[in-house]
């Protein structure tokens, strides 16, 4: 977290302060909390504490430069050409950087006197949330900057505004304390702007997702003034036709702070944020933080993408498509009509693999239009961005045509096809005529304009290269005149063009008749250098031609940028359409290659899955050469009573957790608009999905396992509705048996009687299965197992009924627990089971367990546990290399005797 820090040594004028240091202090003081990249020639230098921080973070050498108040000034620097890499490292470590450039030509400064310093100014504040460079951005993820406003009265307490500065997309949402944490977790901003007061409230009320703790940027309360924000907003939205007063006071404050922060970071360059869309959370399926983590939607619980749902099913081929895919997966819809129109598009494409294959191949060639466009708008773009825009427009036109030709399109695809076909062809042609293949990244040095595009430019370039030919001719002539065969015309940055002869020949040129032609410039140990009037003239012509060419290219670049920006709206719509088409074709490809089917989605309370599979575990199991066992699940309910509740029992490793999650994932997939891994699925729209796994420790955040379980269970009981889908996996595991059982019991009753949501409830408390008798919509299912030669074989098949036993000892045996421990466990189990039977089968489950502390009354183990085994001992005594065949035979007999004795 960054707060405004006091700048190092005070900027008060010091007699010893050089003008440059004075300038440094002034700039540093104006940008507290930022590492200052201070431009000096070909380096960005850092001084004082900044230098110490940066040298440690980047592993670069810390040096000294001069003294300040009698102390050495620490300094380190990074070369301009490698600055991107260093910036990336610093930002990823949570630092913020102010980039300070020379804003005038050093020659200008010298005119003011030899002591004057070049004017410098901060041109950019680089923070995690305000990045625009491809090198610094995550390619397939959005990079959101968010700002959080808090109001003390009114409908909602908070408003969150967030924008991806690299693409311009902007959203705002009014939030209550209950929904805030979940929204923050869903959006996952790279940087969160807020005031100290708001931060304190978040921390106090546990509303801040732990992952965001390191992304906070504190700003003063004035930044969130909603009145000032309205003006700022009106200005920012001027081109986009948005009305600031349409947003709540809190939303305006959040947007205002967001816009101000972005503007400040880009130092006056107009930032191209789009009119914010108000996110109405009711339109989306609510997925809270804990569920998101437990279902591993975008990230696995071990962190990282691998093992997550996204990793398993995201088959998009463009960066923008990948971003949209993640967004849809993180925020599935809760509106049946909207879901079905997405499904229509996927169905059309999944049924035409030829078309889909072609579209995907063509999409692959479409560059990241949105980000290129933003860089151009921020005056940070280059020829490569222009070329990318041209290529993207051309690709869009081809895609639009292919789609239109395919005909018979559902609404979503029709709209995409129309947008793509309306791409500005003239712009693409202009760009492809103008920009060379493989252009440079930056425009400054020219060299990106295609030959034949601009006659004046070609003329200057021809002059430049012709003159080079003239230089070659001049060299030949001078060799002939002087008879020095080794005479050469060379060029360097200091002298420009010059004539060079080996030292031995230098004297000759200093004498008649040559001294009239050759003007001495430099004597080196091995060579002597001259110029001639003719050469100096030629040089002037070359330099002028080069300068003229660069100037012309500068004008061309500016004009093309203006043409691009004039079509910002159309290009953005194009970028969106390309991303949408990528997602639709990726989902179609997924459906076709993995045998997914279209779910029937409506407003009923159905949840009927036939032969469902787990989208992540299935491919993993397949990779291991096994086949995944598909399972049905029917939790369908009616408006009167609500959904059904399946109580899932079975041994550890039986497949309970897999079964539970696959059904939650199927609901999420269906509502994001994807086909699902099942032979048939009928789902009445789920408004919220909850998934909780008992006994997952959260020690890092100071909450005990059980506490976490209970907090999360409370959230479900308080927030689930009749339309929700609830997955509870072994709740109540984190406390004493009776406590846990009673809580699980009461929770189950509440979900069934009061909430009536569709529920899957896995438990190791077999006692709960008796609830099937009293609660009408509870059904017992169990994971089928088979015993084979004392081992348990998991069939991963869900069948009606309750597990008769838990097979814990068999599982322990598979895990390699020592045999004596297993024997003892079997013994204790038998005793427990006898007691249970003695208490009568009609007794409440609790009564069975009443006198659990029976261990104390039991005899000690019949045999003391042997630490070693006589067979092993005997094996240890022999060395096969040393014994005769006869001894070996005898040894085998001995082994058998020992073994028989042990039986
Ligand atoms: P439980 O929660 O009952 O302890 P899990 O759901 O964790 O069991 O499953 C244990 C392992 O069994 C999984 O890691 C997976 O490899 C395998 N498995 C689970 N369900 C299936 C299935 N339907 N088909 C094939 N293998 C499965
Ligand atoms: Mg489990």
Looking at 576-580, 767-771, 778-782, which range is the least confident one?
A: 767-771
Distance 178 CA to ligand 2 centre (A): 29
Residue 862: per-residue pLDDT = 43
Q: Pocket residues for ligand 1 (CB within 6 Å)?
A: 617, 621, 628-629, 650, 652-658, 796
Cβ pair 49, 14 in contact under 8 A: no
Nearest CA to ligand 1 atom 16: 621
Nearest CA to ligand 1 atom 26: 628
Average pLDDT of the chain?
84
Q: For residue 216, give Cα distances in angstroms to 130, 165, 257, 290, 471.
A: 13, 17, 14, 21, 61
In 481-624, where do the E strands start and end? 488-492, 496-502, 519-523, 527-531, 600-602, 607-612
Looking at 71-85, 228-242, 366-380, 415-429, which range is the least confident one?
A: 228-242
Q: What is the mean pLDDT of residues 739-764?
A: 87
Cβ pair 681, 597 in contact under 8 A: yes
Helix axes 533-566, 369-377, angle to 10 degrees: 120
Q: What is the mean pLDDT of residues 133-160?
A: 79
Cβ pair 323, 583 in contact under 8 A: no
Residue 204: per-residue pLDDT = 85
Give the three-class secondary structure for 149: strand
Q: What count of Cα atoms within 13 Å lies in the side-chain half-sphere of residue 711? A: 15
Nearest CA to ligand 1 atom 13: 655
CB contact burial 349-388 (16+ within 10 A = b; e otherwise): bbebeebbebbbebbeebbbbbbbbbbbbbeebbbbbbbb
Cβ pair 244, 237 in contact under 8 A: yes
Tell me, letter by letter, the H, E, C secondary structure of 752-817: HHHHCCEEEEECCCHHHHHHHHCCCCEEEEEEEEEEECCEEEEEEEEEECCCCCCCHHHHHHHCCC
Residue 847: per-residue pLDDT = 42
Nearest CA to ligand 1 atom 10: 653
Distance 302 CA to ligand 2 centre (A): 17
For the chain, how are helix, strand and coil distributed in percent, rounded to 5?
50, 20, 30
Q: Check pLDDT > 90 for residue 277.
A: no
How far apart (Å, rounded) are the C-alpha atoms in residues 756 and 638? 10
Distance 473 CA to ligand 1 centre (A): 82
Rg of the chain's alpha carbons, rounded to an integer? 37
DSSP label of 318: S
Residue 647: per-residue pLDDT = 94
How far apart (Å, rounded) are the C-alpha atoms in residues 574 and 572? 5
Relative to the alpha carbon of 696, which ligand is closest? 2
User: pLDDT tens digits for 612-622?
Assistant: 999 999 999 99
Distance 701 CA to ligand 2 centre (A): 23
**Nearest 5°: CA angle at 863, between 861 and 865?**
90
DSSP per-residue string spanning 277-294? EE--GGGB-EE-HHHHHH
User: In terms of pLDDT, which residue wins out, 277 or 888?
Assistant: 888
Distance 703 CA to ligand 2 centre (A): 22
Residue 94: per-residue pLDDT = 83
How far apart (Å, rounded) are the C-alpha atoms in residues 806 and 188? 41
**Sheet hosting strand 600-602, strand order edge to edge:** 600-602, 680-684, 607-612, 631-634
pLDDT-based confidence at residue 348 (cuts at 50, 70, 90): very high
Nearest CA to ligand 1 atom 19: 655
Give the three-class secondary structure for 665: helix
User: pLDDT tens digits for 70-100?
Assistant: 788 899 989 888 888 888 888 888 889 999 9
Pairing, β 778-788 against β 645-649: parallel
Q: What is the mean pLDDT of residues 246-253?
A: 82
Cβ pair 655, 796 in contact under 8 A: yes
The percentage of residues in the chain with a pLDDT greater than 90, rounded to a whole number, is: 34
Q: For residue 752, give Cα distances in angstroms to 722, 760, 772.
A: 10, 11, 11
pLDDT-based confidence at residue 852 (cuts at 50, 70, 90): very low
User: pLDDT tens digits for 308-334?
Assistant: 999 999 999 999 999 999 999 999 999
Q: Compute the residue count for the chain.
A: 903
User: In terms of pLDDT, which residue wins out, 588 or 716?
Assistant: 588
Q: Check pLDDT > 80 for residue 854.
A: no
Q: Check pLDDT > 80 for residue 430.
A: yes
- 99's tokens: 């980039």
How far apart (Å, rounded) are the C-alpha atoms in residues 288 and 297? 12
Relative to the alpha carbon of 650, which ligand is closest? 1
DSSP label of 137: S
Q: For residue 615, give Cα distances in angstroms to 339, 491, 591, 662, 665.
A: 20, 65, 11, 7, 8
pLDDT-based confidence at residue 786 (cuts at 50, 70, 90): confident
Relative to the alpha carbon of 661, which ligand is closest? 1
Q: For residue 583, give Cα distances in angstroms to 311, 333, 393.
A: 14, 15, 18
Residue 676: per-residue pLDDT = 97
Q: For residue 502, give Cα distances in angstroms to 323, 480, 496.
A: 63, 16, 18
Q: Check pLDDT > 50 for residue 716.
A: yes
pTM of the model: 0.76
pLDDT-based confidence at residue 14 (cuts at 50, 70, 90): low
Q: What is the mean pLDDT of residues 355-378?
A: 92
Nearest CA to ligand 1 atom 5: 655
User: pLDDT tens digits for 865-900?
Assistant: 445 677 777 787 778 777 888 888 888 888 888 777
Residue 856: per-residue pLDDT = 35
- 608's tokens: 């009927």
Distance 381 CA to ligand 2 centre (A): 52
Tell me, letter by letter, the H, E, C secondary structure of 92-112: HCCCCEEEEEECCCHHHHHHC
DSSP label of 751: I
Q: What is the mean pLDDT of residues 478-492?
A: 88
């Amino acid at each position: 977290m960054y707060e405004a820090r006091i700048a190092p040594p005070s900027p008060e004028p010091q007699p010893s302060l050089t003008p440059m240091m004075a300038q440094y202090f002034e700039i540093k003081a104006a940008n507290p909390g930022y590492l200052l990249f201070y431009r000096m020639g070909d380096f960005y230098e850092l001084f004082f504490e900044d230098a110490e921080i940066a040298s440690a973070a980047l592993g670069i050498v810390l040096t000294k430069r001069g003294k300040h108040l009698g102390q050495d000034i620490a300094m380190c620097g990074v070369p301009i050409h490698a600055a991107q890499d260093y910036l990336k490292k610093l930002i990823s470590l949570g630092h913020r950087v102010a980039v300070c450039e020379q804003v005038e030509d050093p020659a200008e400064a010298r005119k003011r006197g030899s002591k004057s310093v070049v004017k410098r100014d901060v041109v950019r504040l680089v923070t995690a949330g305000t990045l625009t460079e491809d090198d610094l951005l995550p390619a397939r993820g959005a990079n959101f900057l968010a700002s959080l406003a808090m109001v003390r009265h009114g409908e909602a307490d908070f408003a969150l505004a967030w924008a991806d500065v690299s693409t311009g997309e902007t959203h705002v949402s009014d939030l209550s304390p209950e929904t805030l944490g979940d929204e923050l977790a869903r959006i996952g901003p790279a940087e969160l702007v807020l005031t100290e007061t708001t931060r304190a409230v978040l921390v106090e009320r546990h509303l801040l997702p732990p992952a965001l703790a390191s992304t906070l940027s504190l700003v003063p309360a004035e930044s969130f003034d909603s009145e000032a924000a309205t003006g700022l907003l009106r200005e920012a939205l001027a081109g986009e036709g948005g009305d600031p007063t349409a947003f709540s006071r809190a939303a305006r404050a959040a947007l205002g702070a967001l816009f101000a922060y972005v503007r400040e970071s880009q130092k006056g360059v107009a930032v191209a944020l789009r009119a914010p869309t108000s996110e109405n959370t009711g339109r989306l399926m609510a997925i809270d933080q804990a569920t998101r983590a437990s279902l591993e939607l975008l990230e696995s619980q071990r962190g990282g993408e691998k093992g997550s749902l996204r990793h398993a099913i995201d088959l998009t081929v463009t960066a923008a498509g990948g971003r949209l895919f993640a967004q849809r997966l993180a925020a599935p819809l809760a509106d049946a009509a909207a879901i079905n129109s997405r499904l229509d598009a996927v169905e059309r494409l999944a049924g035409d693999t030829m078309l889909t294959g072609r579209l995907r191949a063509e999409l692959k060639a479409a560059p990241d239009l949105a980000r290129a466009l933003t860089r151009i708008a921020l005056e940070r773009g280059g020829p490569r961005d222009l070329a990318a825009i041209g290529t993207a427009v051309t690709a869009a036109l081809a895609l639009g045509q292919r789609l239109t030709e395919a005909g018979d399109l559902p609404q979503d695809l029709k709209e995409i096809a129309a947008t793509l076909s309306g791409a500005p062809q003239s712009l693409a042609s202009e760009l492809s005529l103008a920009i060379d293949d493989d252009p440079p990244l930056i425009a400054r040095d020219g060299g990106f304009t295609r030959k034949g595009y601009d006659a004046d430019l070609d003329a200057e370039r021809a002059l430049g290269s012709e003159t080079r030919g003239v230089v070659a001719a001049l060299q030949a002539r001078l060799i002939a005149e002087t008879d020095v065969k080794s005479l050469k015309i060379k060029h360097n940055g200091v002298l420009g063009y010059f004539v060079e002869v080996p030292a031995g020949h230098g004297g000759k040129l200093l004498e008649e008749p040559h001294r009239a032609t050759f003007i001495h410039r430099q004597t080196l140990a091995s060579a002597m250098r001259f110029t001639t009037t003719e050469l100096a003239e030629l040089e002037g012509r070359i330099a002028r031609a080069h300068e003229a060419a660069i100037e012309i290219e500068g004008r061309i670049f500016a004009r093309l940028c203006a043409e691009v920006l004039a079509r910002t709206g159309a290009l953005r719509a194009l970028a969106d359409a390309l991303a949408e088409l990528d997602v639709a074709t990726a989902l179609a490809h997924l459906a076709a290659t993995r045998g997914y089917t279209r779910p029937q989605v409506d407003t009923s309370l159905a949840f009927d899955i036939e032969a469902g599979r787990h989208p992540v575990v299935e491919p993993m199991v397949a990779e291991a050469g096994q086949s995944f066992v598909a399972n049905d699940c029917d939790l369908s309910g009616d408006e009167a009573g609500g959904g059904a509740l399946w109580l899932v029992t079975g041994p550890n490793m039986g497949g309970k957790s897999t079964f539970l999650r696959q059904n939650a994932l199927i609901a999420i997939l269906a509502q994001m608009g994807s086909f699902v891994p099942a032979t048939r699925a009928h789902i009445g729209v789920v408004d919220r999905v909850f998934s909780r796994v008992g006994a997952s420790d959260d020690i890092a955040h100071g909450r005990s396992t059980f506490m976490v379980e209970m907090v999360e269970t409370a959230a479900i009981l308080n927030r689930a509705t009749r339309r929700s889908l609830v997955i509870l996996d072994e709740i109540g595991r984190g406390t004493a048996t009776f406590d846990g059982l009673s809580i699980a019991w009461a929770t189950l009753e509440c979900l069934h009687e009061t909430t009536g949501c569709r529920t899957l409830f896995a438990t190791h408390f077999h006692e709960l299965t008796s609830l099937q008798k009293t609660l009408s919509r509870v059904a017992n299912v169990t994971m089928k197992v088979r015993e084979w030669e004392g081992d348990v074989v998991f069939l991963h098949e869900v069948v009606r009924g309750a597990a008769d036993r838990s097979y814990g000892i068999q599982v322990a045996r598979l895990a390699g627990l020592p045999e004596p421990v297993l024997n003892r466990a079997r013994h204790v189990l038998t005793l427990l089971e006898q007691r249970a039977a003695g208490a009568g089968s009609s007794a409440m489950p609790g009564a069975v367990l009443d006198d659990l502390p029976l261990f104390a009354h039991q005899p000690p183990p019949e045999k003391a546990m042997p630490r070693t085994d006589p067979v092993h001992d005997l094996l240890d005594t022999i060395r096969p290399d040393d014994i005769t065949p006869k001894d070996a035979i005898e040894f085998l007999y001995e082994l058998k005797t020992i073994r028989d004795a042990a039986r």
